[in-house]
Chain A
Amino acid sequence: MALKGLDIFKLTPKTNCKECGQPTCMAFSMKVAQGSVQIEQCPHMSEEALATLGEATAPPMKSIKIGVGEEEHTIGGETVLFRHDKTFVSKSLYGVSVTDANADEVLAEAAKVDYVRIGEHMYVELVNVAFEGDKSAFLSAVKKAAATGRTLVLDVQDGDAAKAALDLVKDTKPILNGANPSNYEACNALAKEYGVVLGVRAEDLDALYTTVTALEGLGNKELVLDVGGASIKDAFGNAVKIRRAALKDNDRSFGYPSIVNVAKLAPGDERLQTALASLFTSKYGSIIILEKMDYGKALGLYGLRQNVFTDPQKPMTVETGLYPINGAGENDPCAFTVDFALTYFIISGEIERSGVPVNLIIPDAGGYSVLTAWSAGKLTADSIAKFIKDEGLEAKVKNHTLMVPGKISVLKGELEENLPGWKIVIAPNEAIGLPKFLKEFVA
């Protein structure tokens, strides 16, 4: 249970010294409770208070960092089983699995998937290199994989091969996914030596649990848990049971991110791998390894991931500005809606469907839907008119027709006053009515 701001406040010095950067101890405490400020930023907290807070605020699931520089990623750190309860914080990472034989082809194909959607860079973050018994082939594959600059997952249980591979890529903080109930001590030594995160696997959850507690006993808490590849059913069951044990039953020995290799669960069946990757994106896969990645899989999968890992309290927004649709130019009419990403997508999609060129104006509306933004005062005749003037849209677009979302038609009068010379037109209440409306409008 997260601490309330008031509980934290009781432990602060209550001096309002402002050294933490906050104007009052109360403001500081509220922000710590909210998670937007770290408790350590108060220089006057007593050791005792810090210990109390540290224990209470310690997450039930570890946040683990892998990779370096721009390719550093955080996994884990989740606090809830359902996104509506708070938010999922660390998005699932996707990787492709390579061997020496297929590395060139697989990596070249995966590299093509590289795009930005609603401010998020979509690409294959990880490369999994599988050891198949031939050390030199493995090392060759590691080299090819390392050349991509992506963070690696070394799927190798052979100590010798693992060490050789780590020698090659030790500076990039890969995951050494190789510990099992019989080799964990040696693997642990390697992971410590090279400062990398250790992946742990076992034939069942009991053995996995035993191995993890043993590793914790050796002082290693930089772990990820492999949910196994015996069967789809086992892998899913393990992923859920591990996450639930950590978050619901507060069992911190399972409070680590997971790794799921769907390439092993459905070898050769790419569509089934898409299905599995979707399943584990929804439910508790921190790292998901597929055989291949292409746009056929990525558009759905990355879209799902973007949605699942959206903070329910902070809606996704698109950038404000002028979006000409269907090749709209200065002589085409304008319309506006809000910067809430979902609304933008729906409205722009319907305008596209209509085939009618429209200049879609997106002002700052606080990321709310149309009605919410309007009732919260984030979308007013003033704010729209100001945006149009500040952005110089009156000069950019000669056609001074402005379509207003039907639900806020109440703004018509004020808009007419604020935007003299503009023709204010009421568009339909629902987006689905747009194609018909637009076609009739220009007819």
Chain B
Amino acid sequence: MKKLFDRVFDGADEMFALAQKALDETIAELGENAPVSMPNTAYHLANHLTYFKRQIMSLKDLRAAFEEDKTWNIHEPDLGSVFKTGYATFAAAEVIEACKYAKSDDPYNGEYHGHLSDAEVRELGVPLVTNDIPGFVVIHGKAPTDEEALELIKGYQARGIFVFLLGEVIAQARRLNMNMGFPVRVVAVGPDVWQVAHIISFVNRAAMIFGAVQPGERWDFDDYTFWRIHAFVNAFDPVSDLVVSCGAGAIAMGFPVITDDPKDMWPVPKSIIIQPDTKDFIETSLEARDIKLKITKVDIPVSYSSAFEGEIVRRDATRIDFDGSRFDSLEWVRMREIHEIEDHAIEIIGPDVEDFEEGERVGLGIVAEVAGKNMLTDFEPVIERNFHNFINCAEGIMHTGQRDLIRIRISKDAFNAGFRLRHIGEIVYAKIKSEYEALIDKCQVKIYTKSEDLKELRTEINKVFDTRDARLASMTDETVDVFYNCILCQSFSPAHVCIVTPERLGLCGAVSWLDAKAMNQLDPNGACQVVTKERVVDEHVGIWEDVNENVAAQSHGNLQQVTLYSIMVDPMTSCGCFECICGIETYSNGVVIVNREHTGITPLGMSFSEMASMTGGGVQTPGFMGHGKHFIASKKFMRAEGGPARIVWMPKALKELVAPKLNATAKELYGIDNYVDMIGDETITDDPEVLMNHLSEKGHPVLSMEPLF
């Protein structure tokens, strides 16, 4: 087998020979002082400007430049030299094309596009930079059949990928009356390999215009093309040495080459990929260049809009009732390896809607299998929780519940409009791919309706839930490297910043540390950002220098410091949407906690809304603090003041909600059994003095604690 490097060098020599010949002939014909330029560009011969900072005006200039080109055609067997030779090949190709343009402004007579004007560079450059055009492909050679050529071009076109054609593929497309041209995003550049110079010129000018890259700064060009220009090459069998040498240049720019020619070809991951089946060129290419396509539409036969989110499908209007309260049902986002997933595959395992009686109640399982470079198993529940919104927005479909307690109804109208189980899959697929674009590269959906499958799956998923819960329980503020902030509420409480930690979720109760982490991954500039916790001041009460700096910056200077685990010294502020407020009860030296739902008075002599009016608005009010319900049973809950043993009163409903976890925490921290029973509630009293009697009777630990102030 011929070595790849040798193929590059031989190809380059071929190109240089062709260039020399063209240059000599043209000078002989026009004289060395004849001007040479490409039409409608301010960048001279852009490839020579890029590589050699040369502003070529005449054939004499071109000849001098070509001598410099040759110094890059170095046959050393190292990667750097091979890449340089690739660029030299592009330069030589530009010499050949320049000679044509020296003789005529329009050497291709409209038959081929040839040179791209600066205006075209700008027009195409904008959507490329903004990703509205996800990338471009250069297709070279002759497809096995005309039909396959057309199918490939149209496949790219349908995905919004810009197509440049070189060589015989143009004739193939023309034979099948393919409509081509800049407006339809398929450009027939030229009949030979060396017209590639125009495409490279386009790329180099884009780097100069959009990336402000300076001529001669080769590394900056490489960097720009690798990160910003999502291009790749499809080269049909046979791939000549000449094409291989151009491929070296393409690879140097970060553009992979995908070919069906295995002869003397050396696969290199992400750079040279042999895909024997040209029908798979598109998927292989997109994956090789990491191009993700945007999903904009949910493909279902009923309307899809948030207007239908609150719609209720009544019993008599129901075609089928998937009822998780009676039959095993579940929804599950499951992370997989990328190769285990066929993107957009939707599989129905079991009977579909029409196979059931009208109004029948059965079970349903929706399993979305996802993979992506930034995906973590921790994000599974974050995505899963959104199934409710995803599915509910379809007209005539109602969804309630989550995990293995779901209910989905499909209305008769939706069924008559053609809605089937596959469409639930379409919704889940489209929404996951579009809303979690930054996390998910591939997604497939399986929908189960057979009771035996569902039973088995439910057992499996319950194990997953246990694992997840255990993971959450094991995650403490100490075991993570960073916290997150959340400034979602600043629109109405501009001075407030939430610091979200594993043990302390946002005070609204809606944003956990994992949610914040996922939100940050999805939108790094959004409402949740990383807060480092490297410079510890006092880990016991929860003070970090970096946390303070973050709070100061995010509150625009309104807050200077917070003590995460204290309610007395620099407590965390509240926006106003807290689930609960705790406030000190001075008789007992403890705290009263009241939740939003409780409308009565507390032993402090204040109701929830009175306390809320004092605690909201991003103001630190020592002695009072807003928090989420789940924070109550945390070991970090006012740890600076002694922890949950300070709790002397809570509404009964709240007590019942937090009892299992709070009892466990109290047992662990203080060795007390049934701690919650010691805490007062409204059925016992809302008077502070009566409350004191209750605490004494029960032997509440707060009575032996230090005064709060």
Contacts and interface: CB of A to CB of B under 8 A. Distances in A.
Q: Kindly name the residue among A26, A33, A426 whose own CB sees the greatest number of chain B CB atoms within 10 A.
A: A26
Given A10-B709, A27-B605, A413 B312 contact: yes
Q: Kindly name the residue among B312, B584, B586, B604 whose own CB sees the greatest number of chain A CB atoms within 10 A.
A: B586
A443 to B, nearest CB: 19
A6 B311 contact: no
24 contacts: A5-B623, A6-B584, A6-B622, A6-B623, A6-B709, A24-B604, A25-B586, A26-B583, A26-B604, A26-B606, A27-B604, A27-B605, A313-B617, A372-B492, A376-B577, A406-B306, A409-B308, A409-B310, A412-B308, A412-B310, A412-B311, A413-B311, A416-B312, A426-B307
Given A6-B709, A27-B606, A34 B310 contact: no
Contacts of A23: 601, 605-606
A375 interface: yes
A409 B305 CA distance: 10
Nearest to A10: B709
A84 interface: yes
B306 A27 contact: no
A26 B577 contact: no
B605 A24 contact: yes
A80 interface: no
Given A376-B577, A410-B306, A414-B310, 18 more contacts: A4-B623, A6-B622, A24-B605, A26-B606, A27-B604, A30-B606, A30-B621, A30-B624, A34-B614, A372-B492, A376-B576, A406-B307, A409-B307, A409-B308, A410-B310, A412-B310, A413-B310, A413-B311
Nearest to B709: A6
B494 interface: yes
Interface residues of A, number: 33
A9 B586 contact: yes
Contacts of A14: 586
Contact of B309 (A10, A409, A416): A409
Closest 6 CB pairs of A and B: A23-B605, A413-B312, A410-B310, A24-B605, A27-B605, A426-B307
- Say what secondary structure dominates the interface of chain B: loop
A14 B576 CA distance: 28
B577 to A, nearest CB: 7
Interface residues of B, number: 33
Contacts of B596: 377
A16 B692 CA distance: 14
Contacts of A376: 576-577
B605 A26 contact: yes
Given A409-B310, A412-B307, A26 B614 contact: no
A27 B592 CA distance: 13
Contacts of A411: 310
- Say what secondary structure dominates the interface of chain A: helix
A114 interface: no
A411 B309 CA distance: 8
A158 to B, nearest CB: 50
Interface string A4-34: 1110011000101000001111110010011
A217 B577 CA distance: 50
B484 to A, nearest CB: 21
Nearest to A12: B586
Nearest to A14: B586
A417 interface: yes
Contacts of B577: 375-376
A13 to B, nearest CB: 12
A27 B610 contact: yes
B688 interface: yes
Contacts of A10: 709
Interface in B604-649: 604-606, 610, 613-614, 617, 621-624
B601 A5 contact: no
A8 to B, nearest CB: 11
Contact of A34 (B307, B613, B689): B613
Interface in A410-435: 410-414, 416-417, 426
Contact of B306 (A5, A409, A416): A409
Contacts of B613: 34
A260 B604 CA distance: 47
Contacts of A413: 310-312
A71 to B, nearest CB: 32
Contacts of A409: 306-310
Interface string B575-603: 01100000111100000000010000101
Q: Kindly name the residue among A16, A24, A406 whose own CB sees the greatest number of chain B CB atoms within 10 A.
A: A24
B379 to A, nearest CB: 24
Contacts of A406: 306-307
A5 B614 contact: yes
B377 to A, nearest CB: 30
A325 B631 CA distance: 48
Interface string B308-323: 1111100000000000
A426 B395 CA distance: 13
Contacts of B617: 313
Given A4-B621, A372-B492, A410 B309 contact: yes
A406 B617 CA distance: 27
B621 A5 contact: yes
A426 B309 CA distance: 11
Contacts of A414: 310, 312
Nearest to A415: B310
Contacts of A16: 605, 688-689
Interface string A302-333: 00000000000100000000000000000000
Nearest to A366: B609
Interface string A84-99: 1000000000000000
A24 B688 contact: yes
Nearest to A34: B614
Contacts of B586: 9, 14, 24-26
Contacts of A27: 604-606, 610
B388 to A, nearest CB: 11
Nearest to A408: B310
Nearest to A313: B617
Interface string B648-663: 0000000000000000
Contact of A30 (B312, B492, B601, B614): B614
A26 B621 CA distance: 13
Nearest to B586: A26
Nearest to B492: A372
A413 B606 CA distance: 36
A352 to B, nearest CB: 24
Nearest to B689: A16
A6 B584 CA distance: 9
Interface in A110-139: none
Nearest to B494: A84
B610 A4 contact: no
A112 B542 CA distance: 62
A319 to B, nearest CB: 21
Contacts of A377: 596
Nearest to A377: B596
B310 A22 contact: no
B305 to A, nearest CB: 8
A131 B577 CA distance: 57
A34 B610 CA distance: 11
Interface string B277-317: 00000000000000000000000000000111111100000
Contacts of B623: 4-6, 9
Contacts of B492: 369, 372
B361 to A, nearest CB: 20
A412 B392 CA distance: 12
Interface string A265-283: 0000000000000000000
Contacts of B624: 5, 30
A289 B374 CA distance: 64
A38 B62 CA distance: 90
Interface in A378-393: none
Contacts of B622: 4, 6
A316 to B, nearest CB: 14
Nearest to B510: A375
